[in-house]
A and B are shown apart, each in its own frame.
Chain A
């Protein structure tokens, strides 16, 4: 019940296209859902985060869509660029403990 399931495992998108990564969870006690971006040789970096009382959050080309009833959330990267090529992790956290439970990651490759 503490798992966060992420798909797809890898994604290839052409420059200018939309990248979509999906995550699903079971435990309704999760109350914070961040997305992290990781480049090779670096630690994950916080990209954008959402709480369950909001259905969508947008920051620049990155948007989180959140469906509380379906217990799913997704990351949309508009106008994908080669510089977006990285591994993306969704995560979830409980209210009373800030430890992050990560999805398995999606390796995104954006080709020119």
Chain B
């Protein structure tokens, strides 16, 4: 059974540019969440999508956005990149919503902003 696939694995962007990260959830998983991981702030929730609808959103500026497609694949976009956006971006998927459904995380996309 394939896991959560995130592409690309590594990315280097220049300040001011925008970036799109992709996440393919486990087959059958309809919920996709995104987290940012940095040494300073740890793991922070960005947003969750379920059946193409944003269900929850974290405390990030509007430069961070996401969407989910009908096949449950998800993308997140960061516009006007700042040096502080350098982080490991993790996608997690699960079958449904609620605590009975545990998250499976991908290996992440490491974004470096220079």
- Chain A: residues with CB nearer than 8 A to chain B? 31-32, 34, 41-46, 49, 51, 89, 91, 93, 97-105
**Closest B residue by C-beta to A46:** B102
Q: Which residues of B contact A97 (CB under 8 A)?
A: 56
- Please measure, in the bound complex, the distance between the C-alpha atom of A45 and the C-alpha atom of B107, giving whole angstroms: 10
- Whether A99 lies near B4 (C-beta < 8 A) is no
- Please measure, in the bound complex, the distance between the C-alpha atom of A98 and the C-alpha atom of B55, giving whole angstroms: 9
- Whether A43 lies near B48 (C-beta < 8 A) is no
Of the candidates A41, A49, A105, the one whose C-beta lies within 8 Å of that of B107 is A41
Tell me if B43 counts as interface (CB < 8 A to partner A). yes
Tell me if B45 counts as interface (CB < 8 A to partner A). yes
Assuming the contacts A43-B4, A104-B42, asked whether A98 and B106 have C-beta atoms less than 8 A apart, the reply is no
Number of residues from B at the complex interface, CB < 8 A:
23
Tell me if B24 counts as interface (CB < 8 A to partner A). no
New A-B contacts (19) at CB < 8 Å, excluding given A100-B35, A102-B43, A105-B42: A31-B99, A32-B99, A34-B102, A43-B90, A43-B107, A43-B108, A44-B43, A46-B102, A89-B42, A91-B43, A98-B48, A98-B55, A98-B97, A98-B98, A99-B33, A99-B58, A100-B43, A100-B103, A105-B43
- Please measure, in the bound complex, the distance between the C-alpha atom of A44 and the C-alpha atom of B103, giving whole angstroms: 9
> What are 27 of the A-B contact pairs (CB < 8 Å)?
A31-B99, A32-B99, A34-B102, A41-B107, A43-B90, A43-B106, A43-B107, A44-B43, A45-B104, A46-B102, A46-B103, A49-B99, A91-B43, A93-B99, A97-B56, A98-B55, A98-B56, A98-B98, A99-B45, A99-B48, A99-B58, A100-B45, A100-B103, A102-B42, A102-B44, A103-B42, A104-B42
The A-B contact count (CB < 8 A) is 52
Interface centre among A42, A43, A89 (most CB of B within 10 A): A43
B85-114 with Cβ < 8 A to chain A:
90, 92, 97-99, 102-108
